[in-house]
Structure 1
Amino acid sequence: MTSVLITGCSSGIGLETALAFARRGDRVHACVRNRDTAEQLLGRARAEDLTLDVPLLDVTDDTSVTAAVTAVQDRHGPIDVLVNNAGVDRTGPVETMPLDQARTLMETNLWGPLRMARAVLPQMRARGGGVIVNVSSLAGRTFAVPHGGFYAGSKAALGALSEALYAEVQPFGIRVVCLEPGSFASAIQRAPAPGTAGQASGTGPYAADHAWLARFLARVAEGAADCAEAAEAVVAAVDDPGTALHTTVGKDAEAALKFLAGVPYEQWLPSFLDQAQSLAGPRPAPPAGDR
């Protein structure tokens, strides 16, 4: 029986991935930050008569990570597969986005997977095998959109970290995969979170532009794919030793990378703005006093 530990399982891709592995009969440790957020996961599992272990784990906290991983290994033995799925999104201008929000992105999207990998790698090396799947984003492989620099930066950094880790642990028989989903109907897609409270700021030189981007993201989310498709890709990546390090998930992701091949940012940006304006209306001009 394969032992699979997955972070961020309260909703979206993490929830669907936990159920997908449980349906195969794997021992699944579906981690959540607090018990209150696990009801949807547990309800779905009960409905399908699936067995799940649901540890509490906060990927931004060293003590929480160590305690959760140690407890899982003590009770159930070595972890064969780690799926680093937990992630958050915030949008905001490079100049004015609160730094605590930018740090939250990095703590969760970059340092979180690093903490988790460091926690499981000693026992994977000792056994000479294991799989680490880092769930990144298409945003880490494509050009950053306005107000999306910090999120894209966190995911691009995760991709670079995955590359180095891939090379470092390969001699120990450990595989690393960096999955890069496009638009999926996750909690992030349903509720983009500009600024500090999930809504575009009502003041400042970038406020109107930020609100415009939020309208565009909301429209994009309307056509997002089912997270079960992304979960299937995670399972397939674990099963197939030939899975590429960088693996896109979703037709939109594949199309985007193909379109961007060899295209400079300066040429791409006007086409992006045209698409955004077709969905969200004309991009607002900056306030006269702030130009």
Structure 2
Amino acid sequence: MTSVLITGCSSGIGLETALAFARRGDRVHAGVRDPARAEELLRRARAEGLTLDVPRLDVTDDASVTAAVTAVQDRHGPIDVLVNNAGTDVTGPVETMPLDRARTLMETNFWGPLRVARAVLPGMRVRGTGVIVNVSSLAGRTFAVPHGGFYAASKAALGALSEALHAEVQPFGIRVVCLEPGSFASAVRRTSAAGQASESDPYGADHAWLDRFLARVAEGAADCADAAAAIVAAADDPGTPLHTAVGKDAETALEFLAGVTYEQWLPRFLEQAESLAGPRPARSR
């Protein structure tokens, strides 16, 4: 029986991934930051007759990560597969985004996966086997959209970390995969600083416009169960490329961007955004 630890399982891709592994009979540890938010996961598991362990695991807290991983290993044995899924998306302009919000995003999307990976790696290394699946984003592989720079930076950083980690742990029999999903329904709860911007914020109208575009894109998002299936497949298949796009929109976007410069991309992006969100607001100093 494979032991799988998944972070961020209260909703979206994490919830579906926990159920997908459990359906195969794997021993699933579905980490959640707030156990009170695990009600939907547990309800669906009971409805299907599935057994899940739901440890409290806050990826932004060193003590929480250490306690959760230690408890899982003490009670249930070694962790075979780690799925670093927990993440958040905060939009905001580079100049005026509150730095505490930007730091929180990086703590969750970059430092969080690193914390959990470092907690499970010693056991995997000693046993000479293990799989780490880092759930990144298409945003980490493509050009950053306006007001999406911090999110894109966090995911690009996770991709770079995955590359280095892959090369470092491969000699120990450990495999690393960095999956890059496109748009999936409620995959990440996007929050915005647009509504908190002061009336004098020179980026306020532009930020709100970009958020309208992202909301329209999300209306056509794919089912999170499809992303979960891709995660299970990546954990199983040693031939999965380190960087793997998930979702038709992600695959199409990467094909389109092959050989395209930022200067060529930006006007096309803005045209697409205006087609969904209306004319881009005029800027004021």
Residues 82-231 of structure 1: pairs in structure 2 closer than 5 A: 82-188=82-188, 192-195=190-193, 199=195, 201=197, 203=199, 204-231=201-228
- The 2-side partners of 1:100 and 1:261 are apart by 35
- Could you list the structure 1 runs, at least 4 aligned residues long, displaced by more than 2 angstroms after superposition: 198-203
1:250 aligned to which of 247, 250, 261: 247
> Deviations along 1:138-170, whole A, 9 cap, x unmatched?
000000000000000000000000000000000
TM-score (norm 2): 0.98
Q: 1:187 Cα deviation (Å)?
A: 4.9
Q: How many Å separate the matches in 1 of 2:164 and 2:276?
A: 38
Query: What is the Cα deviation at residue 202 of structure 1?
Result: 5.0
How much has 1:200 moved relative to structure 2? 6.0
**AA at the equivalent of 1:229:** D
Q: How far is the alpha carbon of 1:261 from its aligned partner? A: 0.6
Identity %: 82
CA contact (8 A) 1:93 1:210 kept: yes
Give the deviation of 1:192 after TM superposition: 2.7
Q: How many angstroms does 1:199 deviate by?
A: 3.6
Q: Distance in 1 between matches of 2:245 and 2:262?
A: 20
Q: 1:57 to 1:193 in 2, by over 3 A?
A: same
Q: Deviations over 1:238-288 (max 9, x none)?
A: 11000000000000000000100111101100000000000000000112x
| Cα distance per residue 1:214-248 (max 9 Å; x no partner) | 10010000000000000000000011000000000
The 2-side partners of 1:184 and 1:207 are apart by 27
2:88–2:190: 8 Å Cα contact kept in structure 1?
Answer: no
- Given the alignment, which residue of 245, 256, 259 partners 2:256? 259
Distance 2:90 2:117 in 1: 24
Uncovered stretches (5+) of structure 2, i.e. residues with no partner: none
Q: How many residues align?
A: 284
Secondary structure of residue in 1 paired with 2:10: coil
Letter of the 2:100 partner, please give it: D
C-alpha distance in 1, partners of 2:169/2:187?
32
Q: Distance in 1 between matches of 2:205 and 2:230?
A: 37
Provide the rounded CA distance (Å) in 1 between the counterparts of 2:190 and 2:129.
37
RMSD between superposed Cα atoms in Å: 0.9
TM-score (norm. length: structure 1) = 0.96
Which residue number corresponds to residue 36 of structure 2? 36
Distance across 2 between alignment mates of 1:273 and 1:199: 22
